[in-house]
Amino acid sequence: MPEPGATLASVRTDRPADGVVVLRVSGELDTSSADELAKPLQETLVEGLRAVVVDLLEVRFLGSAGLEALVTGSKRAAGLGVPLVLVAAGRAVLRPIEATGLSSVFTIVDSEEEALAKVGG
């Protein structure tokens, strides 16, 4: 069991190209840690941004609160006209997305390179 106050998830931010932001998420996205993604995603999504890539390759668990953070981010991105691309290849992430029918909502690719090529980054 993690220590009190320990975060189960972390997010690193990178800007590989002008107007393109990559959020690299690792750990577990559940009720107690989903804000570790929700906050940076909210802060990152601003008008004039070319694209946001959310790299979920190092996520070991994606719960409903993590899915909610992604859906909220996707809606905000759509409202701003900013493409949002998820990088996901593992069962821990793809299974909950597919089970909830959200695979038709998100643009999902297998690698960060593919995501950056898709958004012109």
pTM assigned to the model = 0.92
DSSP tag of 32: T
Residue 48, pLDDT above cutoff 80? yes
At 6 the pLDDT is 54
State the DSSP H helix or E strand holding residue 120, giving kind and residue range, or none if neither.
none
- Between CA 3 and CA 5 the distance in angstroms is 6
At 120 the pLDDT is 81
Residue 27, pLDDT above cutoff 70? yes
Residue 17, pLDDT above cutoff 70? yes
Residue 31, pLDDT above cutoff 50? yes
Asked if residue 96 lies in contact with residue 62, where contact means CB atoms within 8 angstroms, the answer is yes
What mean pLDDT do residues 16-33 have?
95
For 97-116, what is each residue's pLDDT tens digit? 999 999 999 999 999 999 99
Residue 1, pLDDT above cutoff 50? no
Which residue type does 7 have? T
Phi, psi (rounded to 5 degrees) for 74:
-65, -40
Dihedral (C-alpha) 102, 15, 6, 98: value to the nearest 10 degrees? Answer: 10
State the DSSP H helix or E strand holding residue 22, giving kind and residue range, or none if neither.
strand 20-29
Residue 55, pLDDT above cutoff 80? yes
Residue 52, pLDDT above cutoff 90? yes
At 7 the pLDDT is 65
